[in-house]
Amino acid sequence: MNYIKTNHLSLLIILFMVVSPFFSGSQMFGALDRTTVGNPWTFSGAVTHSGTVSNTSTVTVGSSGTAMTRVNTGTCYIKAYAATIAASSTATVDCQATAVVDPSGASALTGVTMGDSVALTLSTTTAGTLYMGLQVAGASASTTSGYITVRLTNMLGSTFTWPIGTAATGTATYIVTK
């Protein structure tokens, strides 16, 4: 018996670890059995797949998720209304579809309407976005369809001056859901 304890005990342990899953029906060390993971997506309405997925009704993720009818993403251009933002203060700007400031409204973003949920980040090429520079304090769909209202806080410690001209003053990446 001493011979088995000193020379073959490790082999018996390894043999037990290899063989036991076949008899117990489970996997060793709590490994994930991917065949038992349920589908977390629920679609109500027709779903078509041809390289992309489209849905004409709603999409709900999970059993208690909020139904979504639309998701829009893209890049928008910042249209500032004031030339400066004082240190430690917040200013409101619009994000629009084109770089040229167009007072006729032709630069509206497609599919953005009041009440939509908006997430937005400034691009690193936007003036003042360096460390502790301009920071997004909030974003929402504007009351004017096709625009995103962005609240920017100046964390520079001094007055920030926009490079205002006939073109927008920077860009942001957005995702809008309804």
Please state whether 74 falls in left (phi above 0), alpha (psi between -120 and 50) or beta.
left
In 4-101, alpha helices (H): 9-24
Q: Give residue-wise pLDDT tens across range 31-44.
A: 544 454 455 556 66
Distance CA 23, CA 153 (A): 63
Distance CA 97, CA 4 (A): 77
Structure tokens at 70: 């639309």
Terminal CA-CA length for the chain: 72
Q: Give residue-wise pLDDT tens across range 44-85.
A: 666 665 666 666 778 777 778 888 888 889 999 888 777 788
Q: Give residue-wise pLDDT tens across range 77-107.
A: 888 777 788 999 999 988 888 877 666 655 7
To the nearest whole percent, how much of the chain has pLDDT over 90? 21
